[in-house]
Amino acid sequence: MAPEFDLQSALNKAMSQLGSINSDTSSKASGSSESAYVNSVWGLVQDGQEVAQGNDEQKAKAMTNILDGIMNLISFSKNQNAQANKEVKKNSDAINKNEQAADKKAQEIQQSIEKIVGDISSNTSSINDALAAIEKLGDNGDIAKVQEQIQEQLDKIDQAKEDLKDPDKRDNALETISAAASAIDGLVANIQNIQSVIEEQNTIVEENVNNISELISDSATKISEGVTELQQYIQKGTALGSESTRLTTQGGIDVPTGKAEVKAGEAINSNAISAVGSGGKGAKLIMDGTQRDSAGQTRIQGGAKNLQSLTASIGKIGGDLSSLSEYTNSIGKIGEGVASLAEQYTNSIQPYIEATGTWDVDAIKEANTELQSQVKAFDGTQNTNNQNGQEFNYDSSKFRKAFGL
């Protein structure tokens, strides 16, 4: 027959030991983990007495309390794993937040640069239009030849002035003067149109080149600031990586520590007497060890996953930095293209500038107005005054002087 086991005696002994532990911990904060755990075990022992000594109703109630107490112990032990999950999530959230902020900043910079490039393209189109307008002037005649053509017409007028003195040549001479004056009037009008076009296009080109210069400068500032900000996100990510590493390191400590606690608890609980006599330390060690092991695994796996995520995140930010460098090269090439276009425009207007450099446009207009007026007046009196030998006294030297001849 199996020896009778004195459950009541064992429970009383456990009560005594727990009372001692409870007394030692009563001076600690009521919310401390050890005190909470001891109180839970204390309650289980008290309920165990009810099961051993009470009536059926008391036994049923005590058993319910025991089950509740066990659940409380499990809940208490879960704190370690909950803390580990909290640490891993906090680190993960920080990594994601840093990546999202960096990505948002990169997109903002990209949009700004794309707008700048679009504005540069618009200004470049205006310069191209100005160049086309200047090149179109060649269709109306080479301005460099205008001076030669006017010289030719002035020579005709001077010769016709002499012919007017000969009655036989007077009619032809007058027609020659009228034709020359009409030709000069057309040439002067062409000069005015050409100069108006050149002045207008010069203004357009100057304005757009200045705009492009400001845009390029603005892009350089935005790219420089963007590089600095993205580098700061990388630095922050590196710091977050240190926390991920700390988690895996801590996990590497927690796992063997937890396993050792479980083994120690199992040793204490190797038989019922020592289990009860330990005041629940065996159960506590097993629960704490199990949870510490689990928490360690959580930290190791979570930290490693966070490091993997962080590596990808920093790689993406690094890619954004490379894109900014490409923007710098692209805009630099655009600037070189604009400089070349501006030089092409300058070369296009140079012949006009050289041809008109010595011209006094106001004096040309004045001389032409006087010529047209005198031709009209002389034509109206040719049937009377010319018959009396009136001379055509227009001084062509005014035209020559205005053209720098």
pLDDT, residue 271, reads: 63
More confident: 245 or 36: 245
**What SS3 state is found at 55?**
coil
pLDDT, residue 232, reads: 95
391 pLDDT more than 70: no
Work out the number of other CB atoms within 10 angstroms of the CB of residue 215. Answer: 22
What's the average model confidence in pLDDT over 17-30?
A: 42
386 pLDDT more than 90: no
194 pLDDT more than 70: yes
SS (H, E, C) 233-281: HHHHHHHHHHHHHHHHHHHHHHHHHHHHHHHHHHHHCCCHHHHHHCCCH
Contacts 24+ apart (CB under 8 A), 12-21: 12/49, 13/276, 13/277, 14/45, 14/48, 14/276, 14/277, 14/279, 14/280, 15/45, 15/46, 15/49, 17/277, 17/278, 17/279, 18/42, 18/45, 18/279, 18/280, 20/279, 21/279
199 pLDDT more than 80: yes
377 pLDDT more than 90: no
Q: Percentage of residues in the chain with pLDDT exceeding 70?
A: 72
Within 8 A by CB and 6+ apart from 167, the residues are 387
pLDDT band at 230; cut points 50, 70, 90? very high
Distance between CA 240 and CA 306 in Å, rounded? 9
pLDDT band at 251; cut points 50, 70, 90? very high
pLDDT, residue 47, reads: 46
Distance between CA 338 and CA 346 in Å, rounded? 12
More confident: 67 or 397: 397
Distance between CA 349 and CA 361 in Å, rounded? 17
pLDDT, residue 334, reads: 87
Q: Residue 82: which of 289, 244, 295 has the closest Cα? A: 295
Mean pLDDT score across all residues of the chain: 77
Max avg pLDDT among 186-200, 238-252, 337-351: 238-252
280 pLDDT more than 70: no
CA dihedral over 47, 69, 292, 243, signed as positive or negative: negative
243 pLDDT more than 60: yes
More confident: 53 or 127: 127
What's the average model confidence in pLDDT over 1-24?
A: 43
**CA 138 vs CA 51, 142, 342, 344, 346: distances in Å:** 116, 5, 19, 15, 15
64 pLDDT more than 50: no
The answer to whether 320 touches 107, Cβ cutoff 8 Å, is: no
Lowest mean pLDDT among 43-57, 213-227, 313-327, 386-400: 43-57
More confident: 165 or 27: 165
pLDDT, residue 233, reads: 95
Report CA 173 to chain centroid distance, whole Å.
76
293 pLDDT more than 50: yes
The answer to whether 218 touches 253, Cβ cutoff 8 Å, is: no
pLDDT band at 149; cut points 50, 70, 90? confident
Contacts 24+ apart (CB under 8 A), 92-95: 92/302, 92/305, 92/306, 92/309, 94/240, 94/243, 95/237, 95/240, 95/244, 95/306, 95/309, 95/310, 95/313
18 pLDDT more than 80: no
Give the helix, strand, coil percentages of the chain, each rounded to 5: 90, 0, 10
231 pLDDT more than 50: yes
387 pLDDT more than 50: no
Distance between CA 295 and CA 284 in Å, rounded? 16
Q: Residue 365: which of 149, 225, 184, 109 has the closest Cα? A: 184
Lowest mean pLDDT among 114-128, 148-162, 345-359: 345-359
248 pLDDT more than 80: yes
What's the average model confidence in pLDDT over 372-392?
A: 63
Q: Percentage of residues in the chain with pLDDT exceeding 90?
A: 30
pLDDT band at 139; cut points 50, 70, 90? low
Q: For the chain, which residues make up each domain, given as ranges? A: 54-402
Max avg pLDDT among 5-19, 30-44, 212-226: 212-226
28 pLDDT more than 80: no
pLDDT, residue 26, reads: 43
Distance between CA 235 and CA 242 in Å, rounded? 11
